[in-house]
Amino acid sequence: MARIELKLKERSYPIVVSKNSTAQLIQLLKKELKKNKLFVFYDANFYALHGKKLSKELSSKFQYNEIVLPSGEKTKSAKELSKIYAYLLSENISRTDFILAVGGGVTTDLVGYAAATTLRGIKWGAVPTTLLGMVDASIGGKTGINHKAGKNLVGAFWQPSFVFSNIEFLQTLPHRQMIAGYGEILKYAGLLGNEMLDVAEKFLRKADFYDKNRLYRMVVLSSEYKAKIVKADEREGGKRMLLNFGHTVGHAIEKSLGYGKLLHGEAVLLGLLAAIQLSAHTNYSSSKALTDYAKLIVDTLSYLPYKRLNSSSILDAIQNDKKRIDSKQKFILLTNIGKPIITDKVKQSEILSSIKEMLHMYKYGVKND
Give just the sign of the alpha carbon dihedral 113, 40, 247, 315.
negative
Residue type, 222: S
Query: How many Å apart are CA 137 and CA 247, to the nearest integer?
Result: 13
Residue type, 145: I
Mark out the alpha helices in 145-209 (DSSP H runs): 175-192, 194-206
Longest dimension (CA), the chain: 60
Element (H, E) at 215: helix 212-232
Element (H, E) at 26: helix 23-32
Query: How many Å apart are CA 101 and CA 84, to the nearest integer?
Result: 12
Query: How many Å apart are CA 259 and CA 269, to the nearest integer?
Result: 16
Query: How many Å apart are CA 67 and CA 54, to the nearest integer?
Result: 13
Beta-bridged to residue 43, according to DSSP, are 69
Query: How many Å apart are CA 347 and CA 323, to the nearest integer?
Result: 17
Active site members: 120, 142, 184, 226, 236, 240, 244, 247, 251, 264
Query: How many Å apart are CA 318 and CA 256, to the nearest integer?
Result: 9
Query: How many Å apart are CA 85 and CA 81, to the nearest integer?
Result: 6
Q: Is 214 exposed, middle or buried (0-12, 13-18, 19+ CB in 10 A)?
A: middle
